[in-house]
Chains A and B, each alone.
Chain A
């Protein structure tokens, strides 16, 4: 990402949204709204002085709401470009009319409260859609108690907890009381392979849950992990070997059965109810934290983007692509790669990106496509 950000022939328009596309077949004109950050991108050097003084607070979206950020913030530390942004909904100056602390402490003079959104036009030969995914909101599956039971979290929240730069500096301190969670259940297929919600396999959850369970053991040799699964779908070279390592070297326990219900004891320990389908018995297991492997779905704005681009989507809302040219959408000159066109893991998304770039290059070099 850093390489792309520094590349002389790549112009990166972060914090921007495509609002319209005109033209066709290799000659497009895009209308892009460049949203006001209220911070000058060419001046800010992300020193962080403003963040240390800002009194505004809001849930940190990158940390999955597990901690709060300031109203002027850096979305995440490796983000490109590395500049601050003011979130006007939570900024004291924008909401109450006074403060401007960030402006006072900024040596560079990078703050600009009068900045306005700008709409710019760009002529391009090809467009690649790579809008990625959002996760399914598990609070609709009331039986899992997400949002009600404090120690039931999503896989993405877990990623932040176990991350050294995350809100707990990499320790699995559970939300209810900040105690170290040593006995953790991972619940697969939360919204995936579910005809009422996401009627497809999200394809990445089995592998990332195994990875999460192994990480927990690496951080704490006394941790015990239970993975509750429908079928383990470790499809790919070495994936099954990875599962075997988890079982044999990391002591991860696999239980075949989709979790039916999560209850809670008096100490906020989640109690997982399930049928162990191998033993044909209904059982319960008290754990210290539950991680839900929520379904991955096309990013929330995908259908709007598809309408704007005049490209077709499938019944699940993914961008449709041609069976014979998997990077091509229904509209010539517009391509797609990654999770916006269907479930895939990172290596697959990378190779799809190469394919889309190669298809787009044909349009760029001839100006009209092949």
Chain B
């Protein structure tokens, strides 16, 4: 897609230059060289080459705050994605974090001989064929990379399965499942996304599942919005675990949680899907919990500041530390989140020397599963 087409498709030509995007951008708040407004302006005024060689384009977190606030409804993140796709064609790319390990893990999963292990999920009940499928995504791989900061991705997965089992669902899982391609998508690697999407669809269709349950907001986003554009009708319905879980909250009989906690809304879940109330209902279902809100919540929540495994810099750390400070100022010493990436990035920042007061980062499904009481099994 040419820059001109990207402008037309995102309707960037409607820009009023009002600055609400840049004023809202978590990156621009700490890094003045990056400005969504000026990125659009440059694309409208200058030649394509200049826009594509602008290294700042890789600073965008694709968090979508600008998108939802833009009075002209310009699809800025969509524009940014097209720009990145085009930039890759002329050999430009962002700086990958973690020495490109995660990129390598994603690439490996496109091999025809690739089979992932499902044995780590054995503590819960799973099967090969069922009406429901649980899509675990990258959770087991992230454990290997983020072991040093105490991130436990597999525990998130097994917690989700325990919750599903309690509701009475024995989900199918598959060795043929691969990465959802979320980060490849936002960094403009369209072919890679297509390969991953078709592999996943094939693996899930083999299980005969009619509903695919997600705990990761990014995997859910990809299946709900991007995969249908690539493969057409999926043949099954993508469902977020909150939709399955919330109707059963009353029957769970949770054990008490004696802690003051706050909640970090993930970008994809809150800003894009509008799933804001559900996680709060789940947290409030925990007896004795002292739940407090930060100032910027729901659609106004702040991104964990590194969304595509690119551009992890001092700026990103500042965004994270600022967010942690906001959380700490509520009096909470536990921050609950529903996205593995928020968990990893804020956990990393919480261990930074500049984070003076300690705060724990906890996954919501781990918290819920660990406090499941002896209530009766649903049907």
Task: Tell me if chain B binds chain A.
Answer: yes
- Residues from chain B with a CB closer than 8 A to the CB of A280 are 32, 35, 38
Contact A277 B29 (CB under 8 A): no
- A274 CA to B14 CA, complexed, in Å: 20
With A261-B24, A282-B25 already in contact, the answer to whether A143 and B69 are too (CB < 8 A) is yes
- Is A308 positioned at the interface, with any CB of B under 8 Å from its CB? no
Selected interface stretch from B108-116, B131-139, B253-261, B293-301: B293-301
Compute how far the CA of A277 lies from the CA of B41 in the bound complex, rounded to whole angstroms: 12
Given A196-B71, A277-B37, A258 and B28 touching (CB < 8 A)?
A: no
> How many pairs, one residue from A and one from B, have CB atoms within 8 Å of each other in the complex?
76
Cα distance, A273 to B19, chains bound together (Å): 11
Known contacts A258-B18, A258-B20, A274-B19; decide if A282 and B296 are in contact (CB<8 Å): no
* A259 and B16 in contact, given A142-B299, A142-B300, A264-B295 (Cβ under 8 angstroms): no
Cβ–Cβ contact B23 & A275, under 8 A: yes
Q: Please, which residues of chain B bring their CB within 8 A of the CB of A142?
A: 298-300
The chain B residue sitting closest to A191, CB to CB, is B71
Task: Tell whether, in the assembled complex, residue B298 and residue A282 are in contact, meaning their CB atoms are under 8 Å apart.
Answer: no
CA distance A227 to B72 in the complex (A): 21
Contact A196/B300 with A274-B19, A277-B18 known, Cβ cut-off 8 Å? no
Chain B residue at minimal CB-CB distance from A194: B71
Q: Nearest chain-A residue to B23 (Cβ)?
A: A260
User: How far is A280 from B36 in the complex, measured between Cα atoms in Å?
Assistant: 11
Q: Identify which of residues 121-146 in chain A touch chain B, using a CB-to-CB cut-off of 8 Å.
A: 142-143
Given A280-B32, A281-B32, residue A275 in contact with residue B22 (CB < 8 A): yes
State A42–B14 Cα separation when bound (angstroms): 57
> A257 on the interface (CB 8 Å rule)?
yes
Q: Which residue of B lies closest to A196 (CB)?
A: B73
Answer whether residue A263 sits at the interface, using C-beta atoms and an 8 A cutoff: yes
Q: Does B360 contact A (CB under 8 A)?
A: no
Residues of B near A275 (CB, < 8 A) are 19-20, 22-23, 28, 35, 37
Q: Which of A20-56 contact B (CB under 8 A)?
A: none
Chain B residues whose CB sits within 8 angstroms of the CB of A281 once the complex forms: 32
Residues of A within 8 A of B21 (CB): 260
A260 vs B23: C-alpha distance when bound (angstroms): 5
Contacts of B49 in A (CB 8 A): none
Which parts of A257-291 form the interface with B (CB within 8 Å)? 257-261, 263-264, 273-277, 280-282
Instruction: Report if B17 contacts A (CB, 8 A).
Output: yes
A193 within 8 A of B: yes
Question: In the complex, which residue of chain B has the Cβ closest to the Cβ of A197?
Answer: B71
Interface status of A346 (Cβ within 8 A of chain B): no
Interface size class of A (residues with CB under 8 A): 20 to 34
Chain B residues with CB under 8 Å of A2's CB are none
Report which of B28, B71, B295 forms a contact with A189, defined as CB distance below 8 A: B71
Q: Identify which of B18, B28, B295 contacts A282 (C-beta below 8 A).
A: B28
Is A260's CB under 8 angstroms from B295's CB?
A: no
Task: Assess the A263–B295 pair: CB atoms within 8 A.
Answer: yes
Residue interface mask B302-315, A partner, CB < 8 A = 1: 00000000000000
Closest to A284 in B: B29
Check if A195 is an interface residue, CB within 8 A of chain B.
yes
B143-187 residues at the A interface, CB under 8 angstroms: none
Which chain B positions have C-beta within 8 A of A263? 295-296
**A157: which B residues are within 8 A, CB to CB?**
none
Query: In the complex, what distance in Å separates the CA atom of A263 from the CA atom of B23?
Result: 13
Complexed CA–CA distance, A4 and B17 (Å): 47
Q: Is A230 an interface residue (CB 8 A)?
A: yes
CA distance A259 to B22 in the complex (A): 10
The answer to whether B29 and A282 have CB atoms under 8 Å apart is: yes
Alpha-carbon distance between A276 and B72 when the two chains are bound, in angstroms? 19
A264 to B300, CA, bound (A): 14
Q: Are A230 and B69 in contact (CB under 8 A)?
A: no
- Smallest CB-CB separation from B25: which chain A residue? A282
Contact with B along A283-324 (1 / 0, CB 8 A): 000000000000000000000000000000000000000000
Q: State in angstroms the CA–CA spacing of A158 and B344 once bound together.
A: 45
CA distance A273 to B16 in the complex (A): 18
With A274-B23, A277-B18, A282-B32 as contacts: A260 and B73 at CB distance below 8 Å: no
Known: A275-B35, A280-B38, A282-B32. A189 touches B25 (CB 8 A): no
Residues of chain A having any CB pair with chain B under 8 Å? 142-143, 189, 193-196, 230-231, 256-261, 263-264, 273-277, 280-282
Show 14 residue pairs from A and B whose CB-CB distance is below 8 angstroms, ordered by the A residue.
A143-B24, A189-B18, A195-B73, A196-B73, A231-B16, A256-B19, A258-B23, A259-B20, A260-B20, A261-B24, A263-B296, A276-B19, A277-B17, A277-B37
The 3 closest A-B pairs by CB, nearest first: A260-B23, A275-B19, A258-B18
